[in-house]
Structures are given as structure tokens and as C-alpha cells.
Structure 1
Amino acid sequence: MTSGIDLGRPTSGDVIDLITDDHRRFEQLLSQLRLATADRDEVRRAFANVLIAHGEAEEELVYPVLRRKASDVDAHDIEHGEEEHAEGNEALLALLELKGTDTQAFTDAAEELSNLVAHHIAEEELSILQPARTEVSDRVRLELGEKWAARRNALIDQDCGAVDNVRRIVAEAEKQGLLDDDE
């Protein structure tokens, strides 16, 4: 587990706000990852825990509810979100498997991860979260927020961003056909 980096520990709130708060946290951590003056290894571990916990909790708890309750969020949007999670996790694994943090390979892997995460954030906020904000009741969004936050925090406590766990998640995504073999 990482120390000294705020991973956020929400316990309640509108699930859409909690998810977008995490998106802003991703952007901050990725910015730190690009700084030569940062402890890139610590930032990489923190980012891994937040990214994996966020996505796993979202796919387990949030996406299924939104698929049922938000008519403007179609199954394709959800499936595409899951594919983008898998691509981000694959890029995260490549970053985690690098030995050093002061190499061109690290810089390239961080850039690839940053690009994938930025793309996913934009699409998810526009095509999934924005429609859900108006189509899913406040009560359901608050209930989901509490469940999502609890699951996310539990996963962080389990060090879900550890390289072996990320390897397992990426292997499972490959088995499910979420990763394009051509990329």
C-alpha cells in the first residue's frame, strides 16, 4: 500500500460525483507521474490502486444498474466502457512491469496510459455518466455511491493495484475478449 498520497476515501455521495472525483484524481496522479521530481514509483503504485479499485467497483456495481435504469445509456456504451477499462489496465500493467522510472520506456508507457485514461474519462463522462445523472433517481445514485465507495475502498485496502493482481485482471479481460489482439 502507498503512503503519503491521497487516494481519497469517500464513504457516501452521488455515485456520479464520486466517479468524476476519481477521474480528477487520475488526472492529478498522471500529471505527477510525468514529473521527474516526483517519487514516480510511489505515484505509480497509488495510481494502480485507485484505477483498479475504481474500475472493478464500477463494473461490479454501477454499470449493471445504469444498463437497467438509464435508457440513454445503451449496452454498447457499457461494453465499450469495459473494453476501455481493460485497455487501461493493460497499459497500467506495462507501466508496473518496468523496473525503473527514469527511462524512456517508462516515459512512453506513462504517456500511453495517460492517453488511454484521458480518452476513457471523456467518453464515459459524456456517454454514460451525463445521461445517468438525469435518468437515474437521486435515491438510486446515493445508494450506489455508498456501495461503490465501500467496494472501492475495500479493494484499495487489499492492494488491488499490485502487479500480480493487475496481471490476473488483464488475463481475465483477454479471456473475455475485451482486448483487441491487434493492439
Structure 2
Amino acid sequence: MSDAIDLGRPVSGDVIDLILDDHRRFEELLRQLRDSSSDRDAVRRAFAALHVAHALAEEEHVYPALRRKRAVGEHEAEHGEEEHAEGNEALLAVLELRGTDTQAFDDAVEELAATVNHHLTEEELTILNPARDEVGERVRADLGERFATARNQHVDDDCGRIENVRRIVRAARHEGLLDNE
């Protein structure tokens, strides 16, 4: 699956740096998805694994800890979760397409890139900057280890497989994180 594409395998570090490293990986994978000469099918599978693992690890560990530390408010954390759901929905559209050399694929990648890039920018401004200012280095390091462990476990569990992304999107609709169609 994503073995051929390096998703990184951090084990420790400042949680902010680890999240930013993944954000740069997302940007690189999106560039590869736009490149018709790349193995777009392998790239979309790798992107799916990283996107789902990253979002789950943030929602399980990072957002709750930052709320407890009052580094971010409930609104910012909930908005981050909504944007993860929107990213998963856009990702599902990319995964469900059979071919990777069609206009439909290009359009779905464009939507995915717009959704994910919006989230990366907003998260860096409204969640990571306050965490940098309000949370001490020791806590960020502990949180980094928990984030990395969860992220890696989700990747190992093949969390980006299409059936799982479908399940996650259904659950997000049920929870009201996405507009029902």
C-alpha cells in the first residue's frame, strides 16, 4: 500500500513539529496527485493512509489535550474536526474514482487540495500557534509521542482503505459534522 511512498514514522518530538511535518507531506502528496506522470493510484492510497491516521491521532490526543490546557477553545477544536470530516469526504471522492487519468479525477484532486490546504492554513494559525504560546515544551513532547504512536498505529492498521474512509464519512454525516446530501 503506502510502503513505496515514505509517510515518515516519527516516534517522538514536539507535537507541533510532527504535525507540521505531516502538513508538508500532505502538500507533497497533493503535488504528486496533480502530476500525471506519477503513480497516482499509489499516491492516493498513501495520501489516504496519512490523512486518516493524522486526523484520528489529532482528534484522539492533540485536540483534547489542547482544550484541557486551554490553549484552544471548544470552537477551534470542533472546527478542526469538521474540517477533517470535509477532507475525508473529498478524499473519498478521489478514492472512489476508477481511473486516475480523467477529468473527473483531476477535478476531485482539485477539490481535495482546496479542502486540505484550507485546513492546514487554518489549523496552523488557530490551533498550532496558540499551542506554541500556551503549552510548555515538556507537554508538547509528551503529546508528540502520543500523537506519533497513534498515527503510526493507524497507518499500520491500513486506516486509509476505501471501506474505512466510507465508514468515517458516514459517521461524520451522522454526527452532523458534514452536510447530509
Name the TM tier (shorter chain).
over 0.9
**Alignment-derived partner of residue 40 in structure 2:** 40
- Aligned length in residues: 181
Unaligned 5+ segments in structure 2 are: none
User: How far apart, in 1, do the equivalents of 2:104 and 2:92 lie?
Assistant: 13
Q: Is residue 95 from structure 1 mapped to residue 74 from structure 2 by the alignment?
A: no
**Which amino acid in 2 is paired with 1:13?**
G
User: How far apart, in 2, do the equivalents of 1:129 and 1:84 lie?
Assistant: 15
**Alignment-derived partner of residue 50 in structure 1:** 50
Which aligned pairs between 1:1-183 and structure 2 lie closer than 5 A?
A: 1-71=1-71, 73-181=72-180
Q: Secondary structure of the residue that 1:180 maps to in structure 2?
A: coil
Identity of aligned residues (%): 66
Q: Secondary structure of the residue that 1:153 maps to in structure 2?
A: helix
Relative to the length of structure 1, the TM-score reads 0.97
In the TM superposition, residue 3 of structure 1 has moved relative to its aligned partner by 2.5
Asked whether the equivalents of residues 88 and 113 of structure 1 are also in contact (C-alpha less than 8 Å), the reply is yes
User: How far apart, in 1, do the equivalents of 2:135 and 2:67 lie?
Assistant: 11
User: How far apart, in 2, do the equivalents of 1:3 and 1:78 lie?
Assistant: 31
**Which amino acid in 2 is paired with 1:50?**
L
RMSD between superposed Cα atoms in Å: 0.9
Runs (4 or more) in structure 1 with deviation over 4 Å come to none
